Amino acid sequence: MNPIELSFEFFPPKTQEGIEKLRVTRAQLARLNPKFVSVTFGAGGSTQQGTLDTVVEMAREGLLAAPHLSCIGSSKDSLRAILNEYRTQGIRHIVALRGDLPSGMGEVGELRYASELVSFIRTEFGDWFWIEVAGYPEYHPQARSPSDDMANFARKVKAGANSVITQYFFNADAYFRFVDDARKLGVDVPIVPGIMPITNFSQLMRFSEMCGAEVPRWVARRLEGFGDDRDAIRAFGLDVVTGLCQRLIDAGVPGLHFYTLNGAAATRAICERLGAATA
């Protein structure tokens, strides 16, 4: 029994080599007894088949597999068809998102926000799905203001979400404050922190810029100072992220959700340091 519930996020591979690599990754991570695994979805349906195939394969292996589904750029008919397919496949856990349209890609679609997708799922599929939604301890990058973002977040949860996974962060206080503010707005579902292992400086800075997660200056400067020394980056990243997770566990978080980027090593190293039991 793990001291903390773990979940792992993957993206659907595009090549046969990627498919093989992900099989190895999840075999290694399955030994950490995750509560569930999830598979991302490209906005507008670009990974629709890949997400479905990956989720179905994982479910066959005995993992509780949750597809992500984003509504931006999609019609209600196409979303309904995807959800029907998941129901037919016996999938009961889903991560409901708005998504981001790739630049230059046109129509917004029939549902503009994740809250509308959650309502749509509840109206059309009742309680069949356990619904996860996204939370942003450092606020969504397009938010008009923190208070507006929190009100939108609370509306989304109240539309019928069962649980929340947060964007990754390195500042635990932002998460603690986010949870406090959410509770004050009547959000009473679990809010599981999203964890990004650090393995690559330029990739981390690029992702963080896009999604609005702050990399503390001292962390960025240290990582930058390691230059091409990948071992040093990984060792320092392991210390920083394990320290963050330990602080979150000590504060009683309901679980940890790892953005694995389809690699096992960094996530496994952190979980093992935290004392997670392997099967």
Cβ-based neighbour number of residue 190 at 10 Å: 15
Where helices occur in the chain by DSSP H, the ranges are 16-30, 48-60, 76-88, 114-125, 146-158, 172-184, 201-211, 217-225, 230-250, 265-273
From the CB of 25, what's the least distance to ligand FAD, in Å?
Answer: 17
For ligand FAD, the closer CB: 57 or 100 = 100
Per-residue DSSP letter, 74: B
For ligand FAD, the closer CB: 70 or 74 = 70
Residue 256 contacts ligand FAD per CB under 6 A: no
Residue 260 contacts ligand FAD per CB under 6 A: no
From the CB of 152, what's the least distance to ligand FAD, in Å?
Answer: 4
Q: 275 burial class (0-12, 13-18, 19+ CB within 10 angstroms)?
A: exposed
Residues in region 72-131 near ligand FAD by CB under 6 A: 95, 97-100, 113-115
From the CB of 54, what's the least distance to ligand FAD, in Å?
Answer: 12
Active site residue 110: no
Q: Give how far Cα 27 sits from Cα of 31, 37, 40, 236, 240, Å.
A: 7, 12, 18, 26, 26
Residues engaged in binding ligand FAD (CB under 6 A)? 40-41, 43, 68, 70, 95, 97-100, 113-115, 134, 140, 142-143, 149, 152, 156, 165, 167, 194
Active site residues: 9
